[in-house]
Structure 1
Protein backbone atom coordinates (compact mmCIF):
# COMPACT_ATOMS: atom_id res chain seq x y z
CA UNK A 1 0.00 0.00 0.00
CA UNK A 2 1.40 3.39 -0.99
CA UNK A 3 0.48 6.60 0.78
CA UNK A 4 -0.80 9.51 -1.28
CA UNK A 5 2.19 11.66 -0.49
CA UNK A 6 3.59 13.84 -3.25
CA UNK A 7 7.09 12.84 -4.26
CA UNK A 8 9.72 15.49 -3.87
CA UNK A 9 12.91 15.84 -5.78
CA UNK A 10 16.27 15.46 -4.11
CA UNK A 11 16.80 19.23 -4.33
CA UNK A 12 13.82 19.88 -2.03
CA UNK A 13 15.00 17.65 0.80
CA UNK A 14 15.74 19.44 4.07
CA UNK A 15 19.20 20.83 4.62
CA UNK A 16 20.56 23.77 6.57
CA UNK A 17 22.37 25.22 3.58
CA UNK A 18 21.63 28.73 2.31
CA UNK A 19 18.71 28.80 -0.09
CA UNK A 20 16.99 25.67 1.23
CA UNK A 21 13.25 26.10 0.74
CA UNK A 22 12.12 22.99 2.60
CA UNK A 23 9.62 23.36 5.45
CA UNK A 24 12.42 22.39 7.84
CA UNK A 25 14.91 25.03 6.69
CA UNK A 26 14.18 27.63 9.37
CA UNK A 27 14.35 25.11 12.20
CA UNK A 28 17.60 23.67 10.88
CA UNK A 29 19.16 27.13 10.53
CA UNK A 30 18.04 28.06 14.06
CA UNK A 31 19.61 24.82 15.35
CA UNK A 32 22.90 25.66 13.61
CA UNK A 33 22.76 29.23 14.98
CA UNK A 34 22.15 27.84 18.47
CA UNK A 35 25.16 25.54 18.21
CA UNK A 36 27.33 28.44 17.08
CA UNK A 37 26.11 30.77 19.83
CA UNK A 38 26.36 28.04 22.50
CA UNK A 39 29.97 27.30 21.51
CA UNK A 40 30.91 30.98 21.85
CA UNK A 41 29.11 31.40 25.18
CA UNK A 42 30.65 28.16 26.50
CA UNK A 43 34.04 29.67 25.71
CA UNK A 44 33.14 32.75 27.77
CA UNK A 45 31.94 30.69 30.75
CA UNK A 46 34.77 28.12 30.80
CA UNK A 47 37.28 30.34 32.68
CA UNK A 48 34.59 30.97 35.32
CA UNK A 49 34.19 27.23 35.93
CA UNK A 50 30.54 26.92 34.91
CA UNK A 51 28.64 25.57 31.95
CA UNK A 52 25.70 26.96 29.99
CA UNK A 53 23.28 24.80 31.99
CA UNK A 54 24.48 26.46 35.20
CA UNK A 55 24.30 29.92 33.68
CA UNK A 56 20.76 29.25 32.43
CA UNK A 57 19.67 28.65 36.04
CA UNK A 58 21.47 31.78 37.24
CA UNK A 59 19.66 33.80 34.55
CA UNK A 60 16.29 32.58 35.84
CA UNK A 61 17.24 33.29 39.46
CA UNK A 62 18.42 36.82 38.65
CA UNK A 63 15.26 37.46 36.63
CA UNK A 64 12.66 35.87 38.93
CA UNK A 65 14.27 35.74 42.34
CA UNK A 66 13.91 32.59 44.45
CA UNK A 67 12.34 29.90 42.28
CA UNK A 68 11.18 26.38 43.07
CA UNK A 69 13.12 23.62 41.31
CA UNK A 70 10.05 22.49 39.35
CA UNK A 71 9.77 25.97 37.80
CA UNK A 72 13.53 26.10 37.16
CA UNK A 73 13.24 22.87 35.20
CA UNK A 74 10.45 24.29 33.04
CA UNK A 75 12.22 27.64 32.53
CA UNK A 76 15.48 26.00 31.43
CA UNK A 77 14.03 23.09 29.47
CA UNK A 78 15.54 20.60 31.88
CA UNK A 79 14.10 17.55 33.56
CA UNK A 80 13.74 16.98 37.31
CA UNK A 81 16.96 14.97 37.67
CA UNK A 82 18.94 17.36 35.49
CA UNK A 83 17.85 20.45 37.39
CA UNK A 84 18.71 18.77 40.69
CA UNK A 85 22.26 18.09 39.44
CA UNK A 86 22.68 21.68 38.26
CA UNK A 87 21.39 23.11 41.56
CA UNK A 88 23.66 20.70 43.46
CA UNK A 89 26.62 21.99 41.42
CA UNK A 90 25.65 25.62 42.06
CA UNK A 91 25.22 24.96 45.79
CA UNK A 92 28.61 23.22 46.03
CA UNK A 93 30.21 26.32 44.46
CA UNK A 94 28.30 28.67 46.77
CA UNK A 95 26.48 30.28 43.82
CA UNK A 96 22.95 29.30 44.85
CA UNK A 97 21.17 27.97 47.93
CA UNK A 98 18.00 25.97 48.53
CA UNK A 99 15.58 27.45 51.03
CA UNK A 100 12.41 26.04 52.56
CA UNK A 101 9.16 27.36 51.14
CA UNK A 102 6.81 28.51 53.91
CA UNK A 103 3.70 26.35 54.03
CA UNK A 104 5.16 23.39 52.11
CA UNK A 105 7.89 21.32 53.75
CA UNK A 106 8.44 19.26 50.60
CA UNK A 107 9.25 22.15 48.28
CA UNK A 108 12.52 24.06 48.15
CA UNK A 109 13.11 27.35 46.43
CA UNK A 110 16.51 28.08 44.94
CA UNK A 111 17.99 31.53 45.27
CA UNK A 112 21.16 33.07 43.94
CA UNK A 113 23.83 33.99 46.50
CA UNK A 114 25.97 37.14 46.48
CA UNK A 115 28.80 35.01 45.00
CA UNK A 116 26.37 33.86 42.30
CA UNK A 117 25.54 37.47 41.45
CA UNK A 118 29.27 38.27 41.23
CA UNK A 119 29.85 35.37 38.86
CA UNK A 120 26.76 36.32 36.83
CA UNK A 121 28.15 39.83 36.36
CA UNK A 122 31.64 38.50 35.55
CA UNK A 123 30.15 36.22 32.90
CA UNK A 124 28.64 39.20 31.13
CA UNK A 125 31.98 40.97 31.06
CA UNK A 126 33.71 37.86 29.71
CA UNK A 127 31.03 37.31 27.07
CA UNK A 128 30.97 40.82 25.60
CA UNK A 129 33.93 40.50 23.18
CA UNK A 130 32.87 36.99 22.23
CA UNK A 131 29.29 38.11 21.58
CA UNK A 132 30.64 40.73 19.20
CA UNK A 133 32.41 37.93 17.36
CA UNK A 134 29.05 36.16 16.93
CA UNK A 135 27.70 38.98 14.78
CA UNK A 136 30.95 40.03 13.12
CA UNK A 137 29.68 38.98 9.67
CA UNK A 138 26.58 41.20 9.93
CA UNK A 139 26.41 44.73 8.61
CA UNK A 140 25.61 47.96 10.46
CA UNK A 141 22.27 47.71 12.26
CA UNK A 142 21.84 44.02 11.44
CA UNK A 143 22.72 42.72 14.94
CA UNK A 144 19.89 44.84 16.40
CA UNK A 145 17.58 43.72 13.60
CA UNK A 146 18.42 40.07 14.28
CA UNK A 147 17.73 40.54 18.00
CA UNK A 148 14.39 42.17 17.19
CA UNK A 149 13.36 39.40 14.79
CA UNK A 150 14.38 36.61 17.18
CA UNK A 151 12.63 38.34 20.08
CA UNK A 152 9.39 38.58 18.12
CA UNK A 153 9.82 34.98 16.93
CA UNK A 154 10.35 33.59 20.42
CA UNK A 155 7.92 35.91 22.24
CA UNK A 156 4.90 36.38 19.94
CA UNK A 157 2.43 39.18 20.71
CA UNK A 158 0.52 38.35 23.84
CA UNK A 159 3.16 35.84 24.99
CA UNK A 160 4.08 36.35 28.64
CA UNK A 161 7.76 37.01 29.16
Structure 2
Protein backbone atom coordinates (compact mmCIF):
# COMPACT_ATOMS: atom_id res chain seq x y z
CA UNK A 1 0.00 0.00 0.00
CA UNK A 2 1.32 3.46 -0.80
CA UNK A 3 1.44 6.31 1.67
CA UNK A 4 -0.83 8.44 -0.59
CA UNK A 5 -3.84 6.13 -0.35
CA UNK A 6 -5.68 6.00 2.95
CA UNK A 7 -6.42 2.47 4.10
CA UNK A 8 -10.03 1.34 3.57
CA UNK A 9 -11.83 -0.61 6.18
CA UNK A 10 -14.52 -3.15 5.49
CA UNK A 11 -16.97 -0.74 7.17
CA UNK A 12 -16.58 1.62 4.19
CA UNK A 13 -17.28 -1.04 1.57
CA UNK A 14 -20.63 -1.40 -0.20
CA UNK A 15 -23.45 -3.06 1.66
CA UNK A 16 -27.20 -2.98 1.31
CA UNK A 17 -27.77 -1.91 4.90
CA UNK A 18 -29.57 1.34 5.73
CA UNK A 19 -27.16 4.26 5.89
CA UNK A 20 -24.66 2.88 3.38
CA UNK A 21 -23.03 5.87 1.69
CA UNK A 22 -21.05 3.92 -0.89
CA UNK A 23 -21.51 4.61 -4.61
CA UNK A 24 -23.22 1.20 -4.84
CA UNK A 25 -25.85 1.95 -2.18
CA UNK A 26 -28.69 2.95 -4.49
CA UNK A 27 -28.27 -0.07 -6.76
CA UNK A 28 -28.04 -2.43 -3.80
CA UNK A 29 -31.15 -0.95 -2.18
CA UNK A 30 -33.04 -1.19 -5.47
CA UNK A 31 -31.99 -4.85 -5.75
CA UNK A 32 -33.23 -5.57 -2.22
CA UNK A 33 -36.49 -3.70 -2.90
CA UNK A 34 -36.92 -5.71 -6.12
CA UNK A 35 -36.40 -8.99 -4.28
CA UNK A 36 -38.95 -8.01 -1.65
CA UNK A 37 -41.54 -6.91 -4.21
CA UNK A 38 -40.88 -9.93 -6.45
CA UNK A 39 -41.32 -12.31 -3.51
CA UNK A 40 -44.66 -10.76 -2.61
CA UNK A 41 -45.88 -10.71 -6.22
CA UNK A 42 -44.76 -14.33 -6.73
CA UNK A 43 -46.94 -15.18 -3.73
CA UNK A 44 -49.91 -13.59 -5.51
CA UNK A 45 -49.23 -15.51 -8.74
CA UNK A 46 -48.52 -18.92 -7.18
CA UNK A 47 -52.21 -19.89 -6.71
CA UNK A 48 -52.81 -19.01 -10.37
CA UNK A 49 -50.11 -21.48 -11.46
CA UNK A 50 -47.72 -18.99 -13.06
CA UNK A 51 -44.44 -17.34 -12.13
CA UNK A 52 -43.22 -13.77 -12.51
CA UNK A 53 -41.42 -14.66 -15.74
CA UNK A 54 -44.75 -15.76 -17.25
CA UNK A 55 -46.55 -12.70 -15.96
CA UNK A 56 -43.85 -10.43 -17.41
CA UNK A 57 -44.61 -11.82 -20.87
CA UNK A 58 -48.36 -11.44 -20.34
CA UNK A 59 -47.79 -7.79 -19.39
CA UNK A 60 -45.98 -7.17 -22.68
CA UNK A 61 -48.65 -8.96 -24.68
CA UNK A 62 -51.46 -6.99 -23.04
CA UNK A 63 -49.56 -3.75 -23.59
CA UNK A 64 -48.32 -4.32 -27.15
CA UNK A 65 -50.57 -6.98 -28.63
CA UNK A 66 -49.03 -9.77 -30.68
CA UNK A 67 -45.24 -9.54 -30.30
CA UNK A 68 -42.42 -11.50 -31.92
CA UNK A 69 -40.35 -13.60 -29.54
CA UNK A 70 -37.20 -11.54 -30.16
CA UNK A 71 -39.02 -8.41 -28.94
CA UNK A 72 -40.50 -10.30 -25.99
CA UNK A 73 -37.00 -11.32 -24.94
CA UNK A 74 -35.79 -7.71 -25.14
CA UNK A 75 -38.83 -6.35 -23.29
CA UNK A 76 -38.52 -8.84 -20.43
CA UNK A 77 -34.73 -8.95 -20.17
CA UNK A 78 -34.71 -12.61 -21.12
CA UNK A 79 -32.52 -14.52 -23.53
CA UNK A 80 -33.75 -16.36 -26.63
CA UNK A 81 -33.85 -19.79 -24.98
CA UNK A 82 -35.48 -18.45 -21.83
CA UNK A 83 -38.26 -16.66 -23.70
CA UNK A 84 -38.93 -19.80 -25.76
CA UNK A 85 -39.40 -21.82 -22.55
CA UNK A 86 -41.76 -19.19 -21.11
CA UNK A 87 -43.82 -19.03 -24.29
CA UNK A 88 -43.92 -22.84 -24.40
CA UNK A 89 -45.28 -22.81 -20.82
CA UNK A 90 -47.88 -20.17 -21.69
CA UNK A 91 -48.98 -22.12 -24.78
CA UNK A 92 -49.32 -25.35 -22.79
CA UNK A 93 -51.57 -23.50 -20.33
CA UNK A 94 -53.64 -21.97 -23.14
CA UNK A 95 -52.61 -18.44 -22.10
CA UNK A 96 -50.84 -17.50 -25.34
CA UNK A 97 -50.45 -18.77 -28.89
CA UNK A 98 -47.76 -18.46 -31.52
CA UNK A 99 -48.88 -17.24 -34.93
CA UNK A 100 -47.07 -16.89 -38.21
CA UNK A 101 -46.01 -13.39 -39.22
CA UNK A 102 -47.20 -12.87 -42.82
CA UNK A 103 -44.19 -10.68 -43.76
CA UNK A 104 -41.64 -13.28 -42.57
CA UNK A 105 -42.57 -16.96 -42.42
CA UNK A 106 -39.54 -17.69 -40.22
CA UNK A 107 -40.78 -15.41 -37.45
CA UNK A 108 -43.57 -16.24 -35.00
CA UNK A 109 -45.55 -13.67 -33.06
CA UNK A 110 -46.95 -14.48 -29.64
CA UNK A 111 -50.50 -13.41 -28.84
CA UNK A 112 -52.37 -13.56 -25.54
CA UNK A 113 -55.55 -15.65 -25.52
CA UNK A 114 -58.88 -14.90 -23.86
CA UNK A 115 -57.85 -17.31 -21.10
CA UNK A 116 -54.58 -15.38 -20.75
CA UNK A 117 -56.47 -12.12 -20.35
CA UNK A 118 -58.68 -13.70 -17.68
CA UNK A 119 -55.61 -14.89 -15.77
CA UNK A 120 -53.97 -11.46 -16.19
CA UNK A 121 -57.01 -9.81 -14.62
CA UNK A 122 -57.20 -12.42 -11.85
CA UNK A 123 -53.54 -11.78 -11.04
CA UNK A 124 -54.29 -8.10 -10.46
CA UNK A 125 -57.12 -8.96 -8.09
CA UNK A 126 -54.91 -11.44 -6.21
CA UNK A 127 -52.02 -8.96 -6.02
CA UNK A 128 -54.00 -6.03 -4.60
CA UNK A 129 -53.92 -6.98 -0.89
CA UNK A 130 -50.30 -8.12 -1.16
CA UNK A 131 -49.27 -4.86 -2.86
CA UNK A 132 -50.92 -2.98 0.00
CA UNK A 133 -48.87 -5.07 2.43
CA UNK A 134 -45.67 -3.95 0.65
CA UNK A 135 -46.33 -0.30 1.50
CA UNK A 136 -48.14 -0.77 4.81
CA UNK A 137 -45.35 0.88 6.82
CA UNK A 138 -45.32 4.01 4.66
CA UNK A 139 -47.02 7.27 5.51
CA UNK A 140 -49.97 8.51 3.41
CA UNK A 141 -48.71 9.76 0.05
CA UNK A 142 -45.36 7.98 0.29
CA UNK A 143 -46.27 5.04 -1.98
CA UNK A 144 -47.28 7.49 -4.71
CA UNK A 145 -44.10 9.51 -4.16
CA UNK A 146 -41.97 6.35 -4.34
CA UNK A 147 -43.70 5.34 -7.57
CA UNK A 148 -43.07 8.79 -9.02
CA UNK A 149 -39.38 8.73 -8.04
CA UNK A 150 -38.82 5.22 -9.37
CA UNK A 151 -40.61 6.09 -12.61
CA UNK A 152 -38.34 9.10 -13.14
CA UNK A 153 -35.31 6.98 -12.24
CA UNK A 154 -36.28 4.15 -14.60
CA UNK A 155 -37.38 6.46 -17.44
CA UNK A 156 -35.11 9.51 -17.25
CA UNK A 157 -35.99 12.64 -19.21
CA UNK A 158 -34.20 12.61 -22.54
CA UNK A 159 -34.12 8.79 -22.65
CA UNK A 160 -30.73 8.39 -20.91
CA UNK A 161 -29.99 4.91 -19.65
Same fold (TM > 0.5):
yes
- The alpha carbon displacement at 1:102 in A equals 0.8
Q: Distance between the aligned counterparts of 1:71 and 1:89, measured in 2?
A: 18
Q: TM-score, normalised by structure 2?
A: 0.94
SS in 1 for 2:110: strand
**SS of residue paired to 1:109:** strand
Identify if the C-alpha distance between structure 1 residues 8 and 118 changes in structure 2 by more than 3 Å, giving closer, same or farther.
Answer: same
> Is 1:157 aligned to 2:154, yes or no?
no
Match of 2:45 in 1: 45
Tell me, in whole angstroms, the C-alpha distance in 2 between the residues paired with 1:140 and 1:70. 41
Give 3-state SS (helix, strand or coil) of 2:18's partner: coil
Structure 2 Cα separation of the partners of residues 18 and 98 of structure 1? 46
Alignment of 1:10 with 2:10, yes or no, is yes
Distance (Å, rounded) in 2 between the aligned partners of 1:20 and 1:124:
34
Work out whether 1:30 is the aligned partner of 2:27: no
- CA-to-partner distance for each residue in 1:104-137, whole Å, 9 max, x for gaps? 1110000000000000000000000000000011
Whole-Å separation in 1 of the counterparts to 2:65 and 2:103: 18
Q: Which string of whole-angstrom CA distances, capped at 9 and with x for unpartnered residues, describes residues 122-155 of structure 1? A: 0000000000000011111000000000000000
> Once superposed, what is the RMSD of the aligned Cα atoms?
1.6
Q: Distance in 1 between matches of 2:66 and 2:77?
A: 18
1:109 equivalent to 2:114? Answer no
Q: Distance in 1 between matches of 2:146 and 2:7?
A: 35
> When the two structures are superposed, what TM-score results if normalisation uses the length of structure 1?
0.94
Aligned with 2:157: secondary structure? Answer: coil
Task: Provide the secondary structure at the position in 2 that maps to 1:106.
Answer: strand
* Residue 5 of structure 1: how far off its partner (Å): 6.4
Aligned length: 159
